[in-house]
């Protein structure tokens, strides 16, 4: 199935160049010049990945990323930031907001296409596939139920919304209760070896998971100097 890539950048030359090269590789391509237009396109079209600039008129790239991740229908949509902003803090903020990759301009179209394919490949590898009998892989601990077959989390019977990375992090911890995982191990499992992420990204996602779980979140313990574990 042909994937549709949405390119969001206020520079027409960049949109045209990337659209041409992605089209040559078999992708369907949409373009938007600013954030509000991008949000509308995502609502109206089956977008498979977003290439997103940061500095744009109207909604900037950070705000677009926030809105995508806050919407349950698009929370798992792969996002690749392509920006001239090179400061480490800018990269960290993008990743903490849920970006799947971060590339600095200028970049060759061939590299960009390769990174798009890499992000989509990692995304597809993390997509849940139900076996033929539709038996879901599920972990239940007290009032917490985490179902990887449907990507649903329930606490005391109430369904909680977790974007894919937060879900994978929670499922990995609760399915190995008592075991301590380093940040590197969690990065490799949840984000994959080829992802451009840093250890602080794990800490931010752990904070979000704990916050959503309330009292139950206290059972995700920090092991100082090592990493995290879920206490059964």
Banded model confidence at residue 197, pLDDT cuts 50, 70, 90: low
pTM for this structure? Answer: 0.66
pLDDT in tens, 140-182: 999 999 998 888 899 999 999 888 888 989 999 999 999 999 9
> What is the pLDDT at residue 133?
40
> What is d(CA 182, CA 64) in angstroms, rounded to the nearest whole number?
31
For tokens 């995502």, the residue is 42
> What is the pLDDT at residue 144?
94
Radius of gyration from C-alpha coordinates of the chain:
18
DSSP string, 146-214: EETTTTEEEETTEEE---HHHHHHHHHHHTSTT--EEHHHHHHHHT-TT----HHHHHHHHHHHHHHHG
> What is d(CA 15, CA 103) in angstroms, rounded to the nearest whole number?
15
Q: What angle do CA 154, 158, 164 make, to 5 degrees?
A: 45
Instruction: Give the Å distances, CA to CA, from 112 to 1, 87, 186.
Output: 21, 20, 26
Name the burial class of residue 25, with classes exposed (0-12), middle (13-18) and buried (19+) by CB atoms within 10 angstroms of its CB: middle
Domains and CATH numbers, the chain: 4-125 (3.40.50.2300), 138-230 (1.10.10.10)
Let me know: does 126 contact 77? Beta carbons within 8 Å.
no
């Amino acid at each position: 199935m042909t994937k549709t890539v949405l390119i969001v950048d206020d520079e027409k030359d960049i949109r045209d160049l990337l659209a041409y090269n992605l089209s040559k590789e078999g992708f369907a391509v949409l373009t938007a010049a600013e954030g509000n237009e991008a949000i509308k396109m995502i609502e109206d079209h089956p977008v498979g990945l977003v290439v997103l600039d940061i500095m744009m008129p109207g909604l900037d790239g950070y705000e677009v990323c926030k809105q995508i991740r806050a919407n349950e229908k698009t929370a798992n949509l792969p996002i690749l930031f392509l920006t001239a902003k090179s400061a480490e803090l800018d990269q960290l903020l993008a990743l903490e907001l849920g970006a799947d990759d971060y590339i600095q301009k200028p970049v060759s179209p061939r590299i960009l296409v390769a990174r798009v394919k890499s992000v989509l490949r990692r995304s597809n590898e993390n997509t849940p596939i139900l076996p033929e009998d539709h038996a879901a892989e599920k972990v239940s601990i007290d009032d917490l139920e985490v179902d990887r077959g449907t990507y649903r989390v329930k606490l005391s019977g109430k369904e909680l919304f977790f974007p894919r990375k937060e879900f994978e992090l929670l499922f990995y911890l609760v399915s190995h209760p008592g075991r301590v995982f380093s940040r590197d191990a969690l990065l490799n499992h949840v984000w994959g070896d080829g992802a451009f992420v840093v250890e602080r990204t794990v800490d931010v996602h752990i904070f979000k998971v704990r916050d959503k779980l309330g009292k139950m979140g206290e059972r995700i313990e920090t092991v100082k100097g090592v990493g995290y574990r879920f206490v059964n």
